[in-house]
Amino acid sequence: MGVGKSTVGRRLANRMRLPFVDADTAIEQAAGMTVAEIFARFGEPYFRDGERRVIQRLMDGTPKVIATGGGAFINDETRALILAEATAIWLRAHPDVLAERVGRRDTRPLLRGKDPRKVLAELAAIRNPIYAEAHIHITSNAAPHETTVNAILKAIGHGRHAA
């Protein structure tokens, strides 16, 4: 949350000349409501099930860059699918950096009415060992997004082919 998955993903796709899909946007289109509305109305387990089905549908064998929500990779089925069928990239950042970024908008269901730094630190403690299963680990810091995109391209061996 707040690491720049959508922005970096969109720029990465552009550099690789591939389509980009934000899984949260695809979920919102399929449900006809926002992620926050789905959480509020049906709860997180319902959202995660829909998220898993949408990601499975997106992973149709056609090369593309998919940005998933922070909780998607925590789901055992979703994670197994991603690890088997794709190159999983973990964009990681310190909780303080993330809290500063997400503090700009109140659209994060898991943060509503809570201290972002505390929640993000707790999420990191639980999720980071699972995120560590990703094929590639990239640190996202205060540098421009292009720095992160370049690091990903280098890690996946496409650096010299990128425009």
Annotation-wise, does 2 bind a ligand? Answer: yes
Q: Which of 29, 25, 13, 27 is nearest to 63 (CA)?
A: 13
Six-digit token string for 20 = 């980009």
Annotation-wise, does 96 bind a ligand? Answer: no
Annotation-wise, does 3 bind a ligand? Answer: yes
Annotation-wise, does 25 bind a ligand? Answer: no
Task: Indicate the residue type of 161.
Answer: H
**Residue 90 CB neighbours (<10 A):** 19
CA distance 98 to 3: 6
Contact 91, 138 (CB under 8 A): yes
**Residues in contact with 68: Cβ distance below 8 Å, sequence separation at least 6, in sequence order:** 5, 23, 24, 51, 55, 78, 82
- Which letter, b or e, does each residue of 124-159 get, where b requires 16 or more Cβ atoms within 10 Å of its Cβ? beebeeebeebeeebebeeeeeeebbbbbbeeeeee
Annotation-wise, does 7 bind a ligand? Answer: yes
Annotation-wise, does 57 bind a ligand? Answer: no
Annotation-wise, does 10 bind a ligand? Answer: no
Annotation-wise, does 6 bind a ligand? Answer: yes
Query: Residue positions in the annotated binding site for Mg(2+)?
Result: 6
Query: Residue positions in the annotated binding site?
Result: 2-7, 24, 48, 70, 108, 127
Query: Residue positions in the annotated binding site for substrate?
Result: 24, 48, 70, 127
